[in-house]
Structure 1
């Protein structure tokens, strides 16, 4: 059954929904004032709308839940659209920076970008899942972006990783640090490095190279451009994936990215 909504009632409904959004906001009074100004409501009209809304909420509280859910859904869509645009704008820096360490197949037909912190527990939880993905799909290339956001010890670990890269040991050393229990102190870093045949004296010298610090600062700037709020964060195709996800989810995202690439997305 189609219901025709009279223009006058439609306007009242629109005003009520605007008020609902305002009441649902953490800054309700400010939002209400803005709504009043934008819609040309008098104080009396505004009071009437708020009273109607309060009465409706008392009779059916699910209205507010549905409004909040709709607002959250819209916010999620807007964030995804914004991040997609940022990924497209930063594509070269994400996928084709020759200074970045690469894992998996360097000639793979799909690139995943991983932002991670060597001390991040969720990064360590994600690590075996990513390793399983690489074993299951030999056509994946992974670009590593060290993002030391958890303090000075993270910066030291990231410097050590990039120093190991200069000796061709980045992937092995990163794998070791992801499995390391406890803090990556200098003694722990040295012990793990020496197990892998890394020249620690040379690595220590390279860790002080300003180019390595510049690389980390570059990664931080790139993360900000993408509105990344924590680690781990993956870029798969044009999608930003925050947090640790399971293998089926990763595989679905990979399949979607490949399909989008085939369609010219």
Structure 2
């Protein structure tokens, strides 16, 4: 159906026949067969027409998605930028805010972690907000509960340390490895473990998941840069260019 629609559009737009008018809803079977044969012949001679039509369609869809994303961010701005519990780092007084939805088991999140760190260090005027969004299984959820519990028990500085360490981990996430990590940072592993299944931790993760659902976020990493949703991994150069663009 999709290709048939493209073919019909391509033929109608490309055949320079001023006297040729089609009523696609009132063709005889014979006329419809002739028309299909003409379409096929035209496209066989001009296959680039389909690629051109697909490109135009994709551009229109991308524009529509971008406009929809702007509305989603505007409608959920308070929960995105001022939820009262998400970690705030970088320069808290920065003129640009970057929000990241992440999963510690996500390979692209691990790649993005260094790019974001470089951006914060190089720019120096960016406020970073981290949203815990574990979507890749039980180990993701375990790591996220550990990070959130660390933040609630030991504060933002401890949270920053363990999130960096979690992003650098290459092996499986288990309670044993998390307790070892807590001890490495001089944290109270018993207190953090006891708090991991608390309602406070669960509620924070639940609220972030609900926000992600409203924003139609289905993968990680996903970023919000000021008013714009950025879905997927972005290298440092692209992020810096977008930041510069936001500043005008």
| Pair in the same fold by TM > 0.5 | yes
Counterparts of 1:75 and 1:124 in 2: how far apart (Å)? 29
Residue correspondence of structure 1 range 1-265 to structure 2 within 5 A: 19-20=5-6, 40-42=25-27, 44=29, 46-166=32-152, 167-168=154-155, 169-259=158-248
Counterparts of 2:210 and 2:35 in 1: how far apart (Å)? 46
Q: Deviations over 1:196-220 (max 9, x none)?
A: 1121111012111112112112111
When residues 49 and 117 of structure 1 are mapped into structure 2, their CA distance, relative to the original with a 3 A threshold, is: same
Counterparts of 1:140 and 1:159 in 2: how far apart (Å)? 26
Counterparts of 1:42 and 1:238 in 2: how far apart (Å)? 49
Counterparts of 1:226 and 1:73 in 2: how far apart (Å)? 21
RMSD: 2.3
Task: Report if the CA contact (8 A) 1:110-1:139 is conserved.
Answer: yes
Task: Report if the CA contact (8 A) 2:7-2:43 is conserved.
Answer: no
The range that moved more, 221-230 or 89-98, is 221-230
The Cα shift of 1:23 comes to 9.5
SS in 1 for 2:58: helix
Counterparts of 1:199 and 1:23 in 2: how far apart (Å)? 67
When residues 229 and 23 of structure 1 are mapped into structure 2, their CA distance, relative to the original with a 3 A threshold, is: farther
TM-score, normalized by length of structure 1?
0.81
Q: Deviations over 1:66-121 (max 9, x none)?
A: 11111111111111111111011111110111111111111111110000001111
Task: Report if the CA contact (8 A) 2:103-2:109 is conserved.
Answer: yes
Counterparts of 1:185 and 1:136 in 2: how far apart (Å)? 34
The Cα shift of 1:223 comes to 1.2
The Cα shift of 1:61 comes to 0.6
Counterparts of 1:189 and 1:58 in 2: how far apart (Å)? 61
- The structure whose RCO (Cα within 8 Å, separation 6+) is larger is 2
TM-score, normalized by length of structure 2?
0.86
Aligned partner of 1:13 in structure 2 is none
Counterparts of 1:65 and 1:92 in 2: how far apart (Å)? 42
Q: Structure 2: which 5+ residue stretches go unaligned?
A: 11-21
The aligned length equals 231
